[in-house]
Amino acid sequence: MNIAKLYSDTYNAEDITRESFFNIGGPHGFMRWGIYILLVISASYLAYTLIRRVIIWRQGKGELRTDFPEKRIWAVFKYVFLQLKILRESYAGIMHAAFFFGFAGLFGVTLLIMFQDDFTELFFHTRILYGNFYLYWSFFAEIFGIIVLVGCIMALWRRYKVKPSRLDTKPTDTFALVLITIITVTGFTTEGIRIALSGFPKFEVWSFVGYITAFAFNWMGITAMEVVHYISWWIHVLAAFIFIGIIASDKLGHVLISALNVYFMNLKNESSATKFTMPIIPPSEFETAESFGVGSIEQFTWKQLMDSDACTRCGRCQDNCPAWLTEKPLSPKKIQIDTKSAMDERVPMVMEARKGAEDLAAVDLTAIESKALLGDHILDDEIWSCTNCAACMEACPVNIEHVPKINDMRRYKVLMEASLAPELQTTFSNLETNFNPYGFAFANRGDWLPADLGVKTMAEDPEVDFLYFVGSPASYDKKTQKIAIAFVKIMQKAGYKIGILGAEEADSGDAALRGGNEYLFHALATQNLSTFKAYGVKKIVCTCPHDYNVIKKEYREFSKVGVDAEGNPLEAGYEVYHHSEILADIIKNGKIKLVEGINAKVTYHDSCFLGRYNEIYDQPRNIIKAVPGSEYVEMSRHHGKSFCCGAGGARMFIEEHLGTRINQFRTRDAQATGAQVICTACPFCFTMLSDGLDELGIENMKTIDIAELVYNAMEK
């Protein structure tokens, strides 16, 4: 249907349009040049601020983030245009989506009128916005304007009425919100007065908000309306160009910089096979480099510096951080803010010192007088409170990488300053001398295994279906040994032949790596990889997610740059499994029968290194649900939002002196479900939650690993 015919009694299709630069001098008046001047000024300022930030970021260390452009464009589409991570929160997600999609629509609407006014009509005397197309264009402009206005109202309510603790409102936040509101409101008022001055053309009802607004000004005289329209038009235009000019600076900087940050994200985080893999220092650097880790702002990579500018201070990372929620000084948001402060203070001085230097590495930056990154901007208690749970990175809508930044600062504290918690020093010493964090003799590593099980070491019989990498907890902790024994018995019942390394197994080195002692990690990884290679290991199974994750990911990265004791390249040609994957498969394929009922309400705690790091969520739950009599209940925080037990990031070996104990916080989550059993799939989680029950005096609950749960239910 030709909608324009609805008005054929008064208008031709060509009449259904609007005058360009109405009441502002017309299409050939000076105001057209005023628009061009404002556009040049705003675009120039935008380019200046963005180039300035790029120059500052480039003072950081080099890092490859330009590979696989097709994957990067897809990431921008998912996280920027589709707002996938932003929409995980209902209110804040809808609010932000209203801003984004509303402004995207208004931008498209504006481009069309610019295309007409500054191209088709100017050079070819042809209008495109008339008739049906003009009506549709007008209607969608109203819709997008309303969407933005809804976002403004939601933001005002949330920031100034609800005032969630994670938002630290600053004058720049208020300015940005007021500016967006002014642009939207003056767009409607300018339109409304134009409609009133034009005599309320019938077709303008498609601009329904403007049409209604027109009645609010119709009581004024024509001259007064012309003046108000002129003022409203200029306010609207100036506000719009101010917005364009500052979308690379201050609060509105995230509009552009966050999109860039997503494009240059770590693509490894898009796959569970490589997600959150820690960057490895090549062993060769220990022979040539003068510094390791990050102790000064310019030692971060350029992408890590960009991260700090991309942070919108939305606080989602803080809201999901177990350290912050248990009254520790660490806030992932604050780490980004403090890094930005250090960057803005020191990097201009670094640039001045490097000016004209042919060899940048030879420039002495130690003489620059500025606040120290570590000690002044960021405190030791902040970086050592981190559990490496990665809840911050999982929650961040613009894919900021908090944990690698914290771990780089830990590397500096350990490798350059030898500054670390006394308990961690003992742990590292034990790992160096006995290859386990507890200090027990490495020769006794296989003593946990009962002789009647008939499991042999790889030295005795290397022909196995799986190498069981036992790990340090199950090798020496009696409670955890029960888990290992149960798992071995299940594997044998299912018909699998497994072997162990015994005294040849070294700790996986996860605590050394995430505790900042990269050199020690190299030694442990080299020993294990050499042993795997010597026995031709093809399949490895772990009952500890920390071992599973580091052998699966960081060992592979290290094998690309490391060498063995003879100088030969290392290899990582194996597959690695977590025992939850194997057990779920055994049950699914009927290799064992579960006949004994548990008759209890059971909840499951997601290990961070099994869940967020490797996206293994369903298998443990399927195992629990397969046990007769189990009534499964979910904790309030689960899957990607699960709460850490407090043991990751080498925190298992550091005493918790500040705030509430994380394991107690998580134990209360479990208690709130009304469950009698907390099921785990990690020896650290098992220990932390068992301790939580004891510390809180909770007697009607117990903790059990999925292996013990299955073994107790299995037909013997």
Domain annotation covers residue 423: no
Q: What is the mean pLDDT of the chain?
A: 93
Please check the confidence at residue 503 and state whether its pLDDT lies above 60: yes
Please check the confidence at residue 4 and state whether its pLDDT lies above 70: no
d(CA 590, CA 714) in angstroms, rounded, equals 11
Tokens of 109: 């609407």
Please check the confidence at residue 318 and state whether its pLDDT lies above 60: yes
Domain annotation covers residue 242: yes
| Residues near 349 by beta carbon (within 8 Å), at least 6 away in sequence | 368, 370
Please check the confidence at residue 162 and state whether its pLDDT lies above 70: yes
Domain end (from 584, 607, 628): 584
Q: What pLDDT does 706 receive?
A: 97
CA dihedral 465, 467, 473, 479 (to 10 degrees): 30
d(CA 155, CA 133) in angstroms, rounded, equals 33
Q: Quick: pLDDT tens for 188-243.
A: 999 999 999 999 999 999 999 999 999 999 999 999 999 999 999 999 999 999 99
d(CA 693, CA 438) in angstroms, rounded, equals 23
Rg of the chain (C-alpha set): 31
Q: Indicate the DSSP class of residue 607.
A: P
Domain annotation covers residue 188: yes
Q: Are residues 574 and 595 in the same domain?
A: no
Q: Are residues 188 and 154 in the same domain?
A: yes
Domain end (from 242, 261, 280): 261
Domain end (from 584, 616, 639): 584
- Which CATH number belongs to the domain containing residue 603 in this structure? 3.40.50.10700
Tokens of 713: 């239910």
Please check the confidence at residue 57 and state whether its pLDDT lies above 90: yes
Please check the confidence at residue 7 and state whether its pLDDT lies above 60: no
Task: Give Cα separations from 593 to 490, 496, 588 (angstroms).
Answer: 10, 15, 10
Q: What pLDDT does 3 receive?
A: 45
Q: What is the pTM of this model?
A: 0.92
Please check the confidence at residue 653 and state whether its pLDDT lies above 50: yes
Q: Are residues 562 and 444 in the same domain?
A: yes
Please check the confidence at residue 35 and state whether its pLDDT lies above 80: yes
Domain annotation covers residue 18: no
Q: What pLDDT does 10 receive?
A: 64
Q: Are residues 610 and 556 in the same domain?
A: no
Please check the confidence at residue 608 and state whether its pLDDT lies above 80: yes
Q: What pLDDT does 5 receive?
A: 46
Q: Which residue has the higher pLDDT, 574 or 253?
A: 574
Q: Are residues 226 and 213 in the same domain?
A: yes
Please check the confidence at residue 358 and state whether its pLDDT lies above 50: yes
d(CA 490, CA 619) in angstroms, rounded, equals 16
Please check the confidence at residue 8 and state whether its pLDDT lies above 80: no
Q: How confident is the model at residue 305 (pLDDT cuts 50, 70, 90)?
A: very high
Domain annotation covers residue 119: yes
How much of the chain exceeds pLDDT 70, in percent? 98
Q: Are residues 382 and 471 in the same domain?
A: no
Q: Are residues 598 and 524 in the same domain?
A: no
Q: What pLDDT does 252 receive?
A: 82
d(CA 282, CA 288) in angstroms, rounded, equals 11
| Residues near 440 by beta carbon (within 8 Å), at least 6 away in sequence | 434, 475, 476
Q: Quick: pLDDT tens for 231-282.
A: 999 999 999 999 999 998 877 888 899 999 999 999 999 999 999 999 999 9
Task: Give Cα separations from 233 to 21, 579, 645 (angstroms).
Answer: 9, 66, 57
For the residues 51-69, what does the mean pLDDT come to? Answer: 95
Q: Are residues 412 and 451 in the same domain?
A: no
For the residues 589-616, what does the mean pLDDT come to? Answer: 95
Centre a 10 Å sphere on the Cβ of residue 6 and count the other Cβ atoms it contains. Answer: 13
Q: Are residues 115 and 236 in the same domain?
A: yes
Domain annotation covers residue 187: yes
Concatenating the DSSP letter of every residue in 510-522 gives HHHHHTT-HHHHH
Q: Are residues 543 and 466 in the same domain?
A: yes
For the residues 535-550, what does the mean pLDDT come to? Answer: 97
Q: Do 225 and 204 meet the contact criterion of CB atoms below 8 Å apart?
A: no
Q: How confident is the model at residue 290 (pLDDT cuts 50, 70, 90)?
A: confident
Please check the confidence at residue 631 and state whether its pLDDT lies above 90: yes
Q: Are residues 458 and 354 in the same domain?
A: no
Closest CA to 225 of 19, 30, 22: 22
Please check the confidence at residue 365 and state whether its pLDDT lies above 90: no
Domain tally, the chain: 4
Centre a 10 Å sphere on the Cβ of residue 161 and count the other Cβ atoms it contains. Answer: 7
How much of the chain exceeds pLDDT 90, in percent? 85
Q: Quick: pLDDT tens for 374-426.
A: 999 999 999 999 999 999 999 999 999 999 999 999 999 999 999 988 899 99
Domain annotation covers residue 48: no
User: Whole domain around residue 643: which residue ranges?
Assistant: 588-713
Flag the least confident range among 120-134, 318-332, 381-395, 458-472. 120-134
d(CA 704, CA 525) in angstroms, rounded, equals 30
Domain annotation covers residue 56: no
Q: How confident is the model at residue 29 (pLDDT cuts 50, 70, 90)?
A: confident
Q: Are residues 548 and 622 in the same domain?
A: no
